[in-house]
Amino acid sequence: MKVCFLGCGNIAQAIIDGLLKSGMQPSHISCIERNEQRVNSLKTQGLQIIELENIASLDFDLIVLAVKPKDALGAAKSIFKHLPTAIILSVVAGIGIEKYSQPKSIIRAMPNTACAFEKGVTAIYALDQNSKAFLTANNLFRKIGHVLTLKKEDEMHRFTSIIGSGQAFLFQVLNTYLEELNKISSADHVATKLMFQDFISSLSDSFSQDSNFESLINKIKSPGGTTQAGLESLQDNNLDKILQDAFQAAEDRSIEISNEQ
């Protein structure tokens, strides 16, 4: 598979890192990027840096559009100008397929940065879900994690709020844990980091043994104990609603962004 990225910032870099880890050859990944610092760093990974003008002469299976929403429609137009038959895999948030000049040539995907560790969760949607390009796009994201095919494009907003933005909500929560730990930890920064790293990864280990959160909680909680007291406080402060409101706010913003373009 040969892939070209137009825009190689945070998310493209996460996808590229995952693809390289999965065994893809750097020579099979090309990048079009205008930020000089990023270009230098991409070169150190052995990736091909190309100009948009040359996109038609190189035979790519997929062209991944990974620029900010404000740059997306212009960048897609430039690709079609040089390669009218291009199939663009857009990871741009909030811009619906119908906004592009050639909607049938767009596959939309919403990956997360966990792609860098081959643990991504990516939602994918296209008007034609039986095309060869859609299968290729699926295969690309399967190399670096899990893929969820959406039946309706609108579902992308909710997916973004839970798996995309939602990852940051969990980081925010974990930051509070770490700040509290730091207040009482006599260990140095490196030791505390390792301690916290194991604490986070043990959550994943627990979930892999038992995917029922209620039963996991019950293994920690005892009647009248500390955990129960803390859980009751979370319930009194309506933690569920706080999170649901955050998902809703992110989803609303995603819809707003799509209407702004």
Q: Does 93 bind ligand NAP (CB under 6 A)?
A: yes
Stretch that binds ligand NAP, among 60-68, 98-106, 181-189, 213-221 (CB under 6 A): 60-68
Site residues for ligand NAP, window 158-217 (CB under 6 A)? 164
Nearer to ligand NAP, 112 or 161 (CB): 112
Minimum Å gap between C-beta 113 and ligand NAP is: 5
d(CA 72, CA 27): 26
SS3 label, residue 86: coil
Applying CB under 6 A, the span of 108-116, 123-131, 183-191, 231-239 interacting with ligand NAP comes to 108-116
Nearest partner of 110 among 133, 93, 126, judged by Cα: 93
Phi, psi of 75 (to 5 degrees): -65, -40
Helices (H), 146-212: 155-159, 165-184, 189-209
> Is residue 76 involved in binding ligand NAP (CB under 6 A)?
no
Q: CB of 87 within 8 A of CB of 133? A: yes
Number of residues located near ligand NAP, criterion CB under 6 A: 25
Considering only residues 23 through 52, tell me which ones interact with ligand NAP, judged by CB under 6 A: 32-35, 38
Give yes or no for residue 123 binding ligand NAP (CB under 6 A): no
Six token digits for residue 133:
């390009």
DSSP-derived secondary structure letter, 29: E
Of 174, 189, 5, 1, nearest to 89 (Cα)? 5
- Options 20, 55, 97, 111; binder of ligand NAP; rule CB under 6 A: 111
What residues make contact with ligand NAP under the rule CB under 6 A?
Answer: 6-7, 9-12, 32-35, 38, 66-69, 71, 75, 91-93, 110-113, 164
